[in-house]
Amino acid sequence: MGIAQRKERQKAELRDQILTAAREIVLTEGFEALSMRKIAEAIEYSPATIYLHFATRDEIALQLVREGFAQLLLAMAPVQSIVDPTERLMEIGRRYIHFAMEQPETYRLIFMENPKFSSEVIGQILNNPSEPGERAFAILAETVGELIAQKRFRPVDPEQAAEVLWAGVHGVASLRIACHAAGTKLSEDMEKQSELMLEVMMRGLTA
Amino acid sequence: MGIAQRKERQKAELRDQILTAAREIVLTEGFEALSMRKIAEAIEYSPATIYLHFATRDEIALQLVREGFAQLLLAMAPVQSIVDPTERLMEIGRRYIHFAMEQPETYRLIFMENPKFSSEVIGQILNNPSEPGERAFAILAETVGELIAQKRFRPVDPEQAAEVLWAGVHGVASLRIACHAAGTKLSEDMEKQSELMLEVMMRGLTA
DNA sequence: GTCTATAAATCGATAGAC
DNA sequence: GTCTATCGATTTATAGAC
């Protein structure tokens, strides 16, 4: 059955090409510039061919958001090897903000672009324990729980504290992205800004 | 010159009608649904008439963002009468998040929708001391400075701390908006979530 | 000042030939 | 599996009559 396998492989390859081209368009021209025709031109196929792989344009967009989120989670995976929970927590925050600053368009795509896709993907990932990388939020909450158990953190609800920590780093990152090129004095030094946010939140939770 | 004045008044009224209709469309159908034709239909004029008041669609959108930001600032104005700086700071945070939750579409329009308009408006407001409501960020920074002077806060850079505080409440608000209807357990109780964020940041900055 | 009419472009999606 | 051709609808913006 080598022929069938080759066909399947080729089909998957074209699907990949479509997504790669779509990602490129979103990252360079913005989400609203994504169109079937532009993708078709980029991969040098007719627009009709794309419909053999994706039923609608929205399905492509959704997949892009999904992959973007997976990328973000992947970037934070190394923290699992950090033994000290305080250091682990700080590193989660640092890596999170670092990703958002290195790939602002991807971050924007995940959290700021389209509410429909954002909430769908976030909902899927946060509710489905079998998602690749789904454990990110759980790790965050568990780390907080660990610190509470060690009496290093005050006895707060770990899940709620985890959400506050997430909101804190998301706030620094997304405010920066929203204000980017605004010509303000805001966040000239992101490094210092991030560190202060993390320090303030750690101190605020410390017993 | 009563006739000229009446004409001017009528022109301003139509301009207002255009903006009101545009705002309505954005708040109910989303930003991307805003079009000259829809506005024209809503105000019962031909599309061509709109171009006598606004050169492009972008100019209308920009004005909407501008007014949205002014609305947000207006909602926080009452904090100026609060004497105690700690209480003032808490109230700034509460009012900020409250506005974002009461008017999520307006908040989204200001900070999450279009980077071009967001950064332009934010830049204008934060750099121009003559803006109505421009003092919002200054008040935040001054309140932090006050608390540092009273040795109630640690000696941090007031402007940087103000930005962290802003990022904190923005994070809670915007994460909530992004995850809305995601069906997650996230932020089920926004009241508690906001209070924890504020409490953590206050404690984190306390001397 | 307001309209009609229209240019010129883009879009998603599909039918049907090959 | 891929194409051509096209439908049908959308958009911004303008020209020119009234």
- Token pair, residue A202, equals 């750690």
**B120-132 average pLDDT score:** 82
B203 with A199: Cβ contact below 8 A: no
Q: Is the CB of B103 under 7 A from strand C?
A: no
> Residue A144 carries which side chain, given as an amino acid letter?
V
Report the pLDDT averaged over residues B173-193.
82
Q: In the prediction, which pLDDT does B124 show?
A: 85
Q: Is the pLDDT of residue B84 over 90?
A: yes
How many angstroms separate the CA atoms of A110 and A74, rounded?
14
What is the secondary structure of A130-190 as a DSSP string?
TSTTTHHHHHHHHHHHHHHHTTSB-S--HHHHHHHHHHHHHHHHHHHHHHTTS--STTS-H
Does B35 contact A at CB distance below 8 Å?
Answer: no
pLDDT at residue A168, as a whole number: 98
The number of helix segments (H) and strand segments (E) in chain B equals 10, 0
Nearest to A89 by CA among A168, A21, A34, A26: A168
Q: Distance from residue A24 (CA) to nucleotide D3 (C1'), in Å?
A: 25
Q: Do A119 and B180 touch (CB under 8 A)?
A: yes
Does position A139 have pLDDT exceeding 90, yes or no?
yes
pLDDT higher than threshold 80 for residue A188? no
For A37, other C-beta atoms within 10 Å of its C-beta total 10
With H, G, I as helix, E, B as strand and everything else as coil, classify residue B3.
helix
Of the pLDDT bands very low, low, confident and very high (cuts 50, 70, 90), residue A177 is very high
Distances (CA, A) of A184 to A141, A175, B126: 35, 12, 7
Q: Tell me: the pLDDT tens digits for B37-53? A: 999 999 999 999 999 99
Mean of pLDDT over chain B: 93
Phi and psi for A163 in degrees, rounded to 5?
-70, -40
Q: Is A33 on the interface with B (CB under 8 A)?
A: no
pLDDT at A104: 95
CA pair distance B139, B142, nearest whole angstrom = 5
Q: Give the position of tokens 């003559």.
A: B130
Mean pLDDT for B177-187 is: 73
pLDDT at A19 > cutoff 70: yes
Q: What would the two tokens of residue A22 be?
A: 């779509």
Cβ-count burial of B9 within 10 angstroms (0-12 exposed, 13-18 middle, 19+ buried)? exposed
Distance CA A63, CA A34 (A): 13
Burial of B177 (0-12, 13-18, 19+ CB in 10 A): buried
Say what percent of chain B tops pLDDT 90: 83
- Count of beta carbons in the 10 Å neighbourhood of residue A112: 25
List all nucleotides in chain D with at least one atom under 7 A from a protein Cβ.
Answer: 1-6, 10-16
With cut-offs at 50, 70 and 90, classify the pLDDT of residue A128: confident
**How far out from the chain centre does Cα A178 lie?**
16
pLDDT above 90 covers a percentage of chain A that reads 84
Cβ count near B189 (within 10 Å): 10
Q: Is the CB of B29 under 7 A from strand D?
A: no
**Position B126 pLDDT exceeds 70:** yes
Contact (CB<8Å) A172/B167:
yes
Asked whether residue B137, judged by its CB, lies under 7 Å from any atom of the DNA or RNA strand C, the reply is: no
| Partner B contacted by A47 (CB < 8 A) | no
Domain boundaries, chain A: 1-55, 57-205
What per-residue confidence (pLDDT) applies to A157? 97
CA dihedral A144, A150, A155, A158 (to 10 degrees): 20
The mean of the pLDDT values for chain A is 93
- Can you give the pLDDT at residue A132? 62
pLDDT at residue A21 tops 90: yes
Q: What is the pLDDT of residue A53?
A: 98
Q: What is the pLDDT of residue B185?
A: 66
pLDDT over threshold 70, residue A134: no
User: In A76-116, where do the E strands start and end?
Assistant: none
CATH class of domain segment(s) B1-55: mainly alpha
pLDDT-derived band at A105, boundaries 50, 70, 90: very high
Whether A135 shows a pLDDT value over 90: the answer reads no
Give me the CATH topology for the region B61-205.
Answer: Tetracycline Repressor; domain 2 (1.10.357)
Span B124-153, average pLDDT: 88
Given a cut of 90, is residue B115 above it in pLDDT?
no
Contact B163 A180 (CB under 8 A): no
Model pLDDT, residue A195: 98
- Residues of A with Cβ-Cβ distance to B35 under 8 angstroms: none
- Residue A165 in this model has a pLDDT that exceeds 80: yes
Q: Which pLDDT value is given to residue B68? A: 96
For A39-68, write each residue's pLDDT tens digit. Answer: 999 999 999 999 999 999 999 999 999 999
CA A35 to C1' D16, whole Å: 35
The model's pTM is 0.95
**Spatial separation of the C-alpha atoms in residues A132 and A198, rounded to whole Å:** 27
CATH of A57-205, one of 3.40.50.1860, 1.10.357.10, 1.20.1740.10, 3.40.50.1220: 1.10.357.10
Q: Note the pLDDT of residue A184.
A: 67
Best mutation target among B66, B163, B192, B195 (most A Cβ atoms within 10 Å) is: B163
Q: Which range has the worst mean pLDDT, A52-61, B79-88, B118-127? A: B118-127
- Given a cut of 80, whether residue B132 has pLDDT beyond it is no
pLDDT at A130 over 80: no
